[in-house]
Amino acid sequence: MANNEIVYALDLLGTAAFAASGALAGVRRGMDIFGVIVLGVVTATGGGVMRDLLLNDTPPFCFKNELYLYLAVVASVIVFLTPRRFERMRKAMLILDALGLGTFLVIGTSKALSFHLGFMGSVIMGVMTGTFGGMMRDVLSNEIPLILKHEIYASACAVGGALFYALHQYGVPEGINLTASALLVITIRCVAIIKGWQLPRGKGMEQLHF
């Protein structure tokens, strides 16, 4: 299987995993089936849509290939109908989420480089592709976005994006670059989950003394 086909397959898998996480958040909030589907689709496609809009690549990717939308809707409906099954699969969901995160990161960073963005722009586009949908999910669920808390999530994307840019500049073949950068993100995220790693957090205003 060619590299592009592997990335595409992982992209679809990540889309389904992200949609499931968004739909599950909707179920937990007691949303109706329409709300659950909206949350699932937003989580799965929001990052890529925002990236494409900022890059002026319109219509966004999921309207050029509607399989992403159909997949997100189907995953959301399945979660709505069998939420307890997905609650019991929490660890597997986290692993699939990490897989999607790494895949979305390399796709976003690669696309930014094809538009001749520099280091910061490319990394930001990659991080946005991987995290913006989840941020929208949390906002719509009335939660503090995951990337603004102490979870090692967006930071894992930033490290992976920096590696992707560096390897690209050194002329490393794209297939190797995609694999290495995605694996770095997935590894950091999975190890952080297993070990309970967290970023330093603020004390909160109530703990500050002036």
Q: What is the mean pLDDT of residues 174-196?
A: 91
Identify whether 150 is part of a domain: yes
Q: Please report, for residues 31, 34, 131, the alpha-carbon distance to residue 182 in angstroms, rounded to integers and kept in the order given.
A: 33, 33, 14
Identify whether 203 is part of a domain: no
**Number of domain units in the chain:** 1
Identify whether 122 is part of a domain: yes
Give the integer Cα–Cα distance in Å for 99 and 189: 9
Identify whether 28 is part of a domain: yes
Residue pLDDT, tens place only, 6-64: 888 889 989 999 999 999 999 999 999 999 999 999 999 999 999 999 999 999 999 99
Question: What was the pLDDT predicted at 93?
Answer: 82
Question: What was the pLDDT predicted at 177?
Answer: 93
Asked if the model's pLDDT at residue 148 lies above 80, the reply is no
Question: What was the pLDDT predicted at 144?
Answer: 80
Identify whether 210 is part of a domain: no
Helix ranges, the chain (H): 3-28, 33-54, 61-64, 67-81, 83-88, 90-114, 119-140, 154-169, 174-195
Q: What is the mean pLDDT of residues 93-117?
A: 92
The model's pTM: 0.88
Place of tokens 């205003």: 205
Identify whether 180 is part of a domain: yes
Identify whether 206 is part of a domain: no
Residue range(s) defining the domain that contains residue 109: 3-198
Question: At what angle are helices 119-140 and 154-169 packed, to 10 degrees?
Answer: 160
Identify whether 116 is part of a domain: yes
